[in-house]
Every structure is written in structure tokens, then in C-alpha cells.
Amino acid sequence: MTHNLTILFDLDGTIINTAPDLMAAHNHVMKKFGYEEKKMADIKVLAGKGAWVMMQRSFKEKINDENLKKNMTKEFIDYYSKNIDRNSKPINGLIEFLKWAKSKKIVMAICTNKQERLANDLLIKLDLIKYFDFVAGSDTFDFNKPDARHLTNVVEILGGDLKKTIMVGDSEVDEMAAINAKLPFILIEEGYTGKTPKEIKHEHLIKDFVNFDKIINNYL
């Protein structure tokens, strides 16, 4: 029997403000390898598709040296994994909403382009893992967002119904994944994207999770 509702969440910039720790790792690598560091505001155009893409977007020219790419990515992951929860915080109203959703028997999962072990580690350290029934990272399957299967596989694993599933995210990557999976998409403002809300198709626009239950009630 399928459950009442499934909500799929992106992680970075959607339910957790990870910008301070992501940028700290980014700038650590840039400094170590002799490249220009970036400001916090640059997170919007850097994050969203994994560690290497985040760094690649910082360069004026594309880096093709595979050894350099491998070494920089490893340095990023090593540094970030050791400092993953130093300054990262849940988005306002999140914990209250998650508690409410659990009381309504809503099934929730994470679909992120962050490595699965890093996503789990962050959720554990922020005491959020208990609210989620599954965590799908960039390496959980052989594909990731915006591929629809990153979302649909999770729903299938959970025994859910795509007609009773919602995607919540902060960027065009999440938007395209939702469109490809034919799911309603809820966009959170001020996420990690260079696009404006008007440029990202969505059913609902929220600034945080305060009173988010009122929107979700419409899907129950």
C-alpha cells in the first residue's frame, strides 16, 4: 500500500544553509592550489552540481588536467568532510515542519547532488537524519539530478506513488529534475542559483519553512 504523501528535498540551500562551510572548503582549495578565492555571495553561481563543478565555475578557463582536477576535488572533500557542520544551519522553520510532517505520516527523503556519505554525515551531525526515510546522493545511483530517475527511484524504493509526490528545491537543477519526473515543484527563495524565481518554473514559492504545513495540507 502506498503512503499518503512523499516529499523529496534537495539539501544544500534548500533545507540547510551550507554556504559558509562550502565556501570555506572552496577557498581553502583555491588558496592551496594558487587560485583566486571567492566571496560568500558567489555561492549562488558556484554550488549545485558537486565539488569539482563548484571549483570549475571559479576558473576563467576550463581546467582539463585530470590529475589537477582529481587532487583539487580530493582536497575539497577532505577539508569539507572535517568541517561540514561548523557553520551550517537548518533553514528557518524546518525542524518544526519536519516534526509536523512526521505526525501526519508524510514520508520524506533527500535527493541531493552531494556525495551520499557527506549528506548523511551532515544530517546526522545536525540531528536531522531521523526525519528522513532515505538519502540519495550524487553517487547513490549511476545518475543524479536533473535525471528524473534520481527522484523516481527513491519514490519506488520507498513504496510511494509519483502522483502523491512533491519535490522541494532551490535551483534550476531541482526544477528540471521535477519536470523530468513530472512532479510538482516548490521553490525556496535565496537558494544556490544565479537565476531569479521568475526564471524557474514552480507551483509554490517559499522563503523558508515557516507555515509550510499550510501549503502541504493542500496535497494531503
For the cut 90, the answer to whether the pLDDT of residue 199 exceeds it is yes
Q: Is the pLDDT of residue 1 over 50?
A: no
- Neighbouring C-alpha atoms within 13 Å toward the C-beta of 129: 14
Q: What pLDDT is attached to residue 48?
A: 65
Q: Would you state the cell numbers that stand for residue 97, as one nine-digit string?
A: 515542519
Span 11-39, average pLDDT: 93
**What pLDDT sits at residue 61?**
72
- Considering only CA atoms, which of 200, 203, 173, 180 is closest in space to residue 12? 173
Q: Tell me how far apart the alpha carbons of residues 67 and 47 are, in angstroms, rounded to a whole number.
A: 22
> Is 12 labeled as catalytic in the residue annotation?
no
pLDDT in tens, 87-107: 999 999 999 999 999 999 999
110-138: average pLDDT: 97
Q: Tell me the β-bridge partners of 111.
A: 136
Position with higher pLDDT, 113 vs 2: 113
Highest mean pLDDT among 8-12, 47-51, 57-61, 64-68: 8-12
Residue 135 in this model has a pLDDT that exceeds 80: yes
Residue 104 identity: K
**Residue pair 174/167 in contact by the 8 Å Cβ criterion:** yes
Cell numbers at 215, concatenated: 501549503
- Find where cell 509550510 sits: 212
For the stretch 156-181, pLDDT in tens is: 999 999 999 999 999 999 999 999 99
Q: Does the structure show a pLDDT above 50 at 59?
A: yes
The answer to whether 47 touches 19, Cβ cutoff 8 Å, is yes
Angle, in degrees to the nearest 10, between helices 116-125 and 66-82: 20
